[in-house]
Amino acid sequence: MGVLVHGHWQDQWYDTDSTGGHFERSAAQFRNWVTPDGAPGPSGRGGFAAEPNRYHLYVSYACPWAHRTLILRQLKGLAPIIGVSVVHPLMAEHGWTFATDFDGANGDAVNGHQRLYQLYQQALPDYSGRVTVPVLWDTRTDTVVSNESAEILRMFNSAFDGVGARAGDYYPAALRSEIDRLNDWIYPRINNGVYRAGFATRQQPYDEAVNELFAALEQLEQRLAQQRYLVGDRITEADWRLFTTLVRFDGVYVGHFKCDRKRLIDYPNLFAYTRELYQMPGVAETVHMDHIRFHYYRSHPSINPHGIIPVGPQPNFSRPHQRNAIHAGGLS
Ligand SMILES: N[C@@H](CCC(=O)N[C@@H](CS)C(=O)NCC(=O)O)C(=O)O
């Protein structure tokens, strides 16, 4: 893996020496918004009006942040009007690439690049920073609209409603403060918590991350015994953001990232909740466990030097979930 420095690719691993063994994720830099009429969004500049077949999404099936955007694209019926390029699951010295010798990795049909960093160079020749997925690309102006999944999620939720998106609001106005509160609590402890544990290079930051992670999972286990979804009886963005971490938990985070105090399948409510979300129409087809396991176990040689992909565990997400009986106010 590496970074771009003034447009030049440099192969280097995360620098945790300067942060005392802690892993710190850097902020995404392209922060424009697609809006119904092209007016500027909460950040960045305007000019990105919602139109069918204008925008293209670059993802890795392995990446939990990219996965959120794929799920919203699916739920909102955007697949026919926003195309997708899937990178190869191996992220090595050239970063993410468009090699197609892995089932599902479909290359870059839009710009014809070999490597993802070339897309960033195309958008901004002088770019300095990480080269991450997901990327929302504008084929009209040949630039990156956004490389921040949390914001792409919000755009997919509503910006395309006038140009053919399916009904459905996963960030309803009345629930926003509760969703934001949950996201802010879940992100550091769980979504990024597994990375903080897995990429720690000293004992103490690892201990800290893993303790916070499992304390948070215990709390959610209790919450989901009382209510069907994170915010009561309605599925919201907060659920999808949690789902992409939970669905990877036993397959990679338990082993590869040493998050092994418990497995997902040891939490009856969290596991059943994950199964219910997995079984929603269109969601299972966004989950590609072969990309997920290959990516993590092969792309981090400092954690898994021989690149052996272990056998499991691999939970069965298709088993009945039996969550129908749970309503916001507790078991009916
Ligand atoms: N803030 C970004 C983070 C995305 C991210 O870190 N993606 C990872 C893959 S899971 C990546 O592409 N990493 C490459 C790198 O850091 O060089 C988002 O949520 O969109």
pLDDT (0 to 100) of residue 332: 38
pLDDT at 327: 65
Per-residue model confidence as pLDDT tens digits over 234-265: 999 999 999 999 999 999 999 999 999 999 99
- Measure the CA–CA gap between 48 and 67, rounded to whole angstroms: 23
Mean pLDDT over each residue of the chain, to the nearest integer: 95
CA 255 remoteness from chain centre:
19
Name which of 295, 263, 317, 302 is nearest 66 in CA terms: 295
**CATH 3.40.30.10 corresponds to the domain 2-163:** yes
Residue with tokens 């720690």: 200
Average pLDDT of the segment spanning 82-99: 98
Q: What percent of the chain has pLDDT over 70?
A: 97
143-146/135-138 β-pairing: antiparallel
Q: Of 11, 133, 148, 293, which is best to mutate to test ligand 1, by the most ligand atoms within 8 angstroms of its C-beta?
A: 133
Sign of the alpha-carbon torsion through 230, 236, 241, 245: positive
Q: Once rounded to an integer, what is the mean pLDDT over residues 11-22?
A: 75
CA of 13 to the centre of ligand 1 (A): 13
**Ligand 1 close to Cβ of residue 28 (< 6 A):** yes
Per-residue confidence band for 313, with pLDDT thresholds at 50, 70 and 90: confident
Single out the residue of 233, 230, 217, 218 nearest to residue 325, CA to CA.
233
Question: Looking at residues 266-288, what average pLDDT do you find?
Answer: 98
3-state secondary structure 142-170: CEEEECCHHHHHHHHHHCCHHHCCCCCCC
With both helix axes pointing from N to C terminus, report the angle between 176-186 and 237-248 in degrees, rounded to the nearest 10.
20
Q: Is the CB of 193 under 6 A from ligand 1?
A: no
pLDDT of 167 reads 97
Residue 223 CA to residue 22 CA, distance in Å, equals: 30
Q: What is the pLDDT of residue 24?
A: 77
What atom in ligand 1 is closest to the CA of residue 150? 19
pLDDT confidence bin for 14, thresholds 50/70/90:
low
- The whole-angstrom separation of Cα 177 and Cα 51 is 29
Cα→Cα distances 245→125, 158, 286, 316, Å:
33, 24, 13, 16
Nearest-CA residue for atom 8 of ligand 1: 132
Q: What's the alpha-carbon Rg for the chain, to the nearest Å?
A: 19
**134 in ligand 1 pocket by Cβ < 6 Å?**
yes
Q: Residue by residue, what is the 3-state secondary structure of 258-296?
A: CCCCCCHHHCHHHHHHHHHHHCCCCCHHHCCHHHHHHHH
Residue 58 scores a pLDDT above 60: yes
- Here the tokens at position 146 are 């956004």
> Ligand 1 in contact with 89 (CB < 6 A)?
no
Query: 63 in ligand 1 pocket by Cβ < 6 Å?
Result: yes
For the Cβ of 149 lying below 6 angstroms from any atom of ligand 1, the answer is yes
Among the CATH numbers 1.20.1050.10, 1.10.620.20, 1.10.420.10, 3.40.50.1820, which is that of 173-331?
1.20.1050.10
Q: Where are the domains of the chain?
A: 2-163, 173-331
Determine the Cα–Cα distance for residues 29 and 289; give it in Å rounded to an integer: 29
Active-site entry in 14, 55, 58, 63: 63
297 is catalytic: no
Ranking 70-79, 176-185, 304-313 by mean pLDDT, the lowest is 304-313
Is 0.90 exceeded by the ipTM? Answer: yes
Take atom 11 of ligand 1 and give the residue whose Cα is closest: 132
- Name the token pair of 261: 């105090």
Q: Please pick, among 55, 117, 170, 195, the residue that the annotation labels catalytic.
A: 195
Atom of ligand 1 nearest to the CA of 1: 17
Does 259 qualify as catalytic in the annotation? no
For 45, residues 6+ apart whose C-beta sits below 8 A from its C-beta are 32
Q: What is the dihedral of CA 300, 305, 310, 315, to 10 degrees?
A: -20
Distance 49 CA to ligand 1 centre (A): 25
153 CB near ligand 1 (under 6 Å): no
Question: Percent of the chain at pLDDT above 90?
Answer: 90
Euclidean distance between CA atoms 153 and 155, whole angstroms: 5
Q: What is the pLDDT of residues 27-39, one digit of tens each?
A: 889 999 999 999 9
